[in-house]
């Protein structure tokens, strides 16, 4: 199969590759992943991921799988609730500036436990609470946990758009929602 990463120069093409990959996944037509020694040797000299994905750590939400992508294609940053804290932003800065990825996609998902926790009022352990406190003030307008997921995605997108390196590199930022049951990513 073609080495997609070498063919991608614009965010529009990058987005199309992700949409095409998700369509293959939803239709159970995924491409066999090339994980051969030969392929890994090829990748040893460097990477050119065509998209940066910020998504949740949820075990049901793996972007290499739902976007049907190969090793070296997408630069993935994951944490519970797909928040844009300083480590997320630092990772984005690395990929945007040094790897020249033209597109950033923030993917929230249905049944997100972290956002549901932030939508409620419970207290959590210290570090988990830090995540909850990052999400909670930004989803106040939401009337339901599912609406909170969408509000959180929009907020994280706007935060990333404010980043100086993202602006300098003119990296495009879009939000998306992954439906766990259907497997569809809605942009
Ligand atoms: Zn989640």
139-185 per-position pLDDT tens digit: 999 999 999 999 999 999 999 999 999 999 999 999 999 999 999 99
Instruction: Give residue 4's pLDDT band: very low, low, confident or very high (50, 70, 90).
Output: low
Question: What CATH number corresponds to the domain at position 77?
Answer: 3.40.1050.10
pLDDT category of residue 1 using cuts at 50, 70 and 90? very low
Distance 110 CA to ligand 1 centre (A): 8
The reported pTM is 0.94
pLDDT score recorded for residue 73: 96
The beta strand positions in the chain, using DSSP E, are 51-55, 74-78, 103-109, 172-178, 185-186
Rg of the chain's alpha carbons, rounded to an integer? Answer: 17
Distance 81 CA to ligand 1 centre (A): 5
| Residues 74 and 50 sit within 8 Å (Cβ to Cβ) | yes
Closest listed residue to residue 171, CA positions, set 75, 69, 97: 97
Tell whether the model's pLDDT for residue 32 goes beyond 70. Answer: yes
| Centre of ligand 1 from the C-alpha of residue 56, in Å | 5
Question: Per-residue pLDDT averaged across 77-104, rounded?
Answer: 98
pLDDT tens per residue across span 47-67? 999 999 999 999 999 999 999
Which domain does 103 fall in, by range? 4-186
Proportion of the chain above pLDDT 70, given as a percent: 96
- What total of structural domains would you count in the chain? 1
Q: Ligand 1 centroid vs 62 CA: distance in angstroms?
A: 11
């Amino acid at each position: 199969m073609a080495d997609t990463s070498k063919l991608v120069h614009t965010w529009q093409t990058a987005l199309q590759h992700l949409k095409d990959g998700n369509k293959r996944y939803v239709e159970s037509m995924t491409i066999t992943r090339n994980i051969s020694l030969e392929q890994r040797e090829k990748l040893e000299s460097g990477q050119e991921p065509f998209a940066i994905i910020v998504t949740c750590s949820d075990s049901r939400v793996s972007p290499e799988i739902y976007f049907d992508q190969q090793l070296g294609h997408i630069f993935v940053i994951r944490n519970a609730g797909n928040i844009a804290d300083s480590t997320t932003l630092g990772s984005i800065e690395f990929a945007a500036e040094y790897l020249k990825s033209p597109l950033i996609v923030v993917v929230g998902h249905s049944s997100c436990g972290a956002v549901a926790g932030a939508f409620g009022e419970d207290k959590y352990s210290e570090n988990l609470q830090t995540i909850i406190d990052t999400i909670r003030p930004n989803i106040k307008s939401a009337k339901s946990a599912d609406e909170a997921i969408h509000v959180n995605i929009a907020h994280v997108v706007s935060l990333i758009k404010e980043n100086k390196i993202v602006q300098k590199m003119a990296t495009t930022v879009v939000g998306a929602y992954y439906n766990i049951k259907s497997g569809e990513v809605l942009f």
